[in-house]
Structure 1
Amino acid sequence: MPTDVRGAIVTPARGRLMATWMSLSGPPRIPQGRVLLSWTSAGEDRTDVTAHLGLAGAQVLLALWPGLCGEWSGVVRPTVAELHAALRLTTVVLERLTD
Structure 2
Amino acid sequence: MPEQEELSVLEQYKKLRKIGGLSNNLAEPTTAKLRNECAAVYASRPNEEIRNILQSFAVPGVEIQQANDILENTDVEKFKPLNNYLKGQIENPNPSTVTLLTWLN
Q: TM-score range by the shorter chain?
A: under 0.3
TM-score w.r.t. the length of structure 1 is: 0.27
Structure with larger RCO (C-alpha < 8 A, sep 6+): 2
TM-score, scaled relative to structure 2: 0.26
Q: Going by fraction, where is helix more abundant, 1 or 2?
A: 2
